[in-house]
């Protein structure tokens, strides 16, 4: 029944809980993030998911503008996903100016 499903889900969370690594340091570069993920993988085992909250808090110094910087960060996250063979989910905030448009589509 539903109780059994709930118990199995709680057990799965507990199984991964000891491997949950949270790093709330902002302003990381892709290179710094990759180093932190590699260290965590050596210590806790292969990651099953990497979550970046949120993309705009990362930086990639030396690039000419923020759009190029975000593009390079995105490319680096894709490379990290391939290297670690796991999904990388990057949260990002959309430009709110779409609320002023008639169709409201991003």
28 belongs to a structural domain: yes
Domains: count for the chain? 1
5 belongs to a structural domain: no
The CATH number given to whatever domain includes residue 43 is 3.40.50.300
The structure's pTM equals 0.76
Burial state string for 87-98 with b = 16 or more CB within 10 A and e = fewer than 16? ebebeeeeeeee
At 44 the three-state DSSP class reads helix
16 belongs to a structural domain: no
66 belongs to a structural domain: yes
Over the stretch 43-72, which tens digit does the pLDDT of each residue have?
Answer: 989 999 999 998 989 999 899 899 999 999
The answer to whether the beta carbons of residues 52 and 21 sit under 8 Å apart is no
The boundaries of the domain holding residue 52 are 21-100
pLDDT tens, position by position, for the chain (106 residues)?
778 888 888 888 787 777 788 888 889 999 999 999 999 999 989 999 999 998 989 999 899 899 999 999 999 999 999 999 999 999 998 776 766 777 766 5
3 belongs to a structural domain: no
């Amino acid at each position: 029944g539903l109780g059994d499903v709930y118990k199995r889900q709680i057990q799965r969370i507990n199984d991964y809980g000891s491997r949950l690594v949270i790093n709330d340091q902002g302003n990381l570069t892709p290179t710094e993030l990759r180093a932190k993920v590699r260290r965590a993988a050596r210590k806790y085992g292969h990651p099953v998911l990497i979550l970046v909250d949120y993309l705009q808090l990362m930086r990639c110094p030396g690039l000419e503008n923020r759009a190029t910087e975000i593009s390079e960060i995105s490319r680096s996250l894709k490379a990290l996903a391939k290297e670690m063979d796991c999904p990388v989910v990057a949260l990002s905030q959309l430009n709110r100016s779409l609320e002023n448009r008639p169709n409201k589509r991003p």
